[in-house]
Amino acid sequence: MIWLFLTGLALLTYSFHPIIERGIHLLDFTLYYYPTGYYLSQGLNPYHLPSGLLYSPPALLIFQPLYYLPSQPTQLIWTLLSFLSLLLSLWLIIKLTKLKPQRKWFLLLSPFFFLSFPSKFTLGMGQINHFILLLFTSSFYLYQKKKKKLSALLLTLSFLIKLFPIWILLFFIQKKDWGYIKKLILYTFSAFLLSSLFLPLQMLKDYFTLVLPSFLTHAANSSYYNQALTGLISRLVSHPPLQSSLATSLSLILIFLAWKKLQPKLSKHLKFSLLITLSLLISPVSWQHHLVFLFFPLVFLFAHFYSQKNLRGLSLTIIAYLLIFINIKNPQPFTTTLWGNLLLSHATLGSLLLYITILI
């Protein structure tokens, strides 16, 4: 198994060799590195910049130490920490399953995830998704261990950095764990209160009046890299009002079905998996690098069906993984036909397959 893991590492390193050779430039990393720098060095409001900050004021405080380090070494360190966060996330997920021995399964499964396009896209763009995956995975792990204060703190930190996957809050609402929800509210309020002591109040106001509403009113995007339901619909339907109506109707149906499925005695792991998948499907935009969050349901579904010797379930999970794993380097030739646009929605179809597999 160790040879499979090392081979995966070698393939990942080889795929990033051209980037390392010409100098690391992580496009998305600059979206929080430089706005933070402009605020610290020039006092500019990062929410008013052309490529403005899309993260909360508490997140800005977290990003500030990055500015005091040189850009190139910081990007390299960020990439390595991102990769380690992914590996730790996968290790924690496997620890929560019935897969034994855990070390063997970690070595066997992890290369299939860190070689997938969503993971390589996250690493290559300098995205923050692997850190978010680690935060909410650690939170769930600690919740299972009855360490709810630390669990709530990590989940709050995850949401403060990125409001995604927000629908996992239904997990705690369905369980009527009001004490845990109160902790989430208290920690969130405390984080913004602390931010108000170090940042101008205008920045907090701009976040709530400019940035946060933009997430809720985000227009449907037909870009290949958007693999939410809105991407599928906007690729198949050209009429904007009809796109909006279909997206809203389908989202409400998926929310209703997920809520109904949460009521029976579905395992905690599969409930959490269902809500992560739901969050990605009904988000206004789910870029392909967001799909690393699906590693949680993919591992759990694999473990669930493997323990039951359910060949049908295993087959569906593997098909979903393959649909999420792949990337089409030149999507333009496929945009002219119905089947081509369906092919460009391969990860959306993979997410839907995961969602339906958990439901049934």
pLDDT in tens, 263-305: 877 889 999 999 999 999 999 889 999 999 999 999 999 999 9
Residue 219 DSSP class: P
Select from 225, 5, 9 the least CA-distant residue to 127: 225
Mean pLDDT, to the nearest integer, of 237-242?
Answer: 84
Location of structure tokens 């323990």: 307
Q: Could you give the CA distance from residue 30 to residue 127 in angstroms, rounded to a whole number?
A: 10
Contact 289, 122 (CB under 8 A): yes
| Residue 216: pLDDT over 80 | no
At 278 the three-state DSSP class reads helix
At 226 the three-state DSSP class reads strand
Continuous segment of H or E residues that includes residue 183 = helix 178-198
Location of structure tokens 């206004």: 284
Contact 70, 33 (CB under 8 A): no
Across the strands, what pairs with 226? Answer: 287
List Cβ neighbours of 288 (8 Å cut-off, separation of 6 or more).
Answer: 117, 118, 121, 225, 227, 327, 347
Kindly state the percentage of the chain with pLDDT values over 90. Answer: 59
Give CA separation, 278 vs 57, 246, 288, 348, in Å: 27, 16, 15, 11
> 120-165: per-residue pLDDT in tens?
999 988 899 999 999 999 999 999 999 999 999 999 999 999 887 8
| Residue 54: pLDDT over 90 | no
Residue 27 DSSP class: T
| Residue 109: pLDDT over 60 | yes
* CB-based contacts of 12-17 (< 8 A; 24+ apart in sequence): 12/114, 12/115, 12/120, 15/120, 16/120, 16/123, 16/124
Contact 92, 84 (CB under 8 A): no
Select from 192, 177, 75, 171 the least CA-distant residue to 127: 75
Select from 292, 68, 7 the least CA-distant residue to 77: 68
* Higher pLDDT among residues 75 and 302, named by residue: 302
> 179-196: per-residue pLDDT in tens?
999 999 999 999 999 999
